[in-house]
Amino acid sequence: MSLTNPEVLARTGGREIKAIVFGAEQIAARVAELGAEVTRAYPEGELLLIGLLKGSFLFLADLVRHVARPVVVDFMVASSYGDGTVSSGNVRLLYDPATDLAGKHVVLVEDIVDSGNTLRRLLALLASRRPASLSVCALLDKAAMHSPFEELRFVGFDAPPAFLVGYGLDYAEQYRHLPFIADLA
């Protein structure tokens, strides 16, 4: 799909994007694979997927349709960006999952791991609630931006060092609806 394609420009409100980094078909195929990986990793026990909102909502919705076993879904809302393009480092928990985590296999579903600061703080909080296991399934990982951590078990794509939007990722609440992931710069 061309960046000057009228459909792309209509979806972005006329704002040009630098590049489509991951296309809709590429995303769909990888999400299906991730669903199969999660299914194989947790053949038994209670499985709880917690979507980190708002960015993960499209990814989580597609992912759970590919998890071929019973699963419970809940959500968390944390904020560290505001209207900026760089994490502020100040993590605010705006909504806490209502589901009891004790004894469950918990997979935190994230749109993108950037600095890892928000994720590390949330993992510490979730671990204190005594799940049977705790892991992260991230659609995108900017591995060069953070030190490794063992909970990051499922990764869709290695992300380039760009500000990405689409498929749930936003800039100031815009562009989440794009069916592809694009470099906004």
What are the residue boundaries of the structural domains of the chain, listed by start?
22-80+91-176
More confident residue, 95 or 10: 95
Residue 8 above 90 pLDDT? Answer: no
Which residue's entry shows tokens 């909102």?
Answer: 53
Q: Does the 22-80+91-176 domain belong in CATH 3.40.50.2020?
A: yes
Q: What are phi and psi of 105, to 5 degrees?
A: -80, 115
pLDDT in tens, 91-148: 777 888 889 999 999 999 999 998 888 888 899 999 999 999 999 999 999 988 888 8
Residue 74 above 90 pLDDT? Answer: yes
Instruction: Point out the residues that are catalytic.
Output: 114
What local confidence, expressed as pLDDT, does residue 4 receive? Answer: 62
Structure tokens at 91: 């993590």
| CA 8 to chain CA mean position, Å | 23
Confidence of residue 149 (pLDDT cuts 50, 70, 90): confident
| CA 87 to chain CA mean position, Å | 15
Instruction: Judge whether 56 and 168 are in contact, CB under 8 Å.
Output: yes
Structure tokens at 146: 């953070």
What local confidence, expressed as pLDDT, does residue 82 receive? Answer: 52
pLDDT in tens, 167-183: 999 998 999 999 999 99
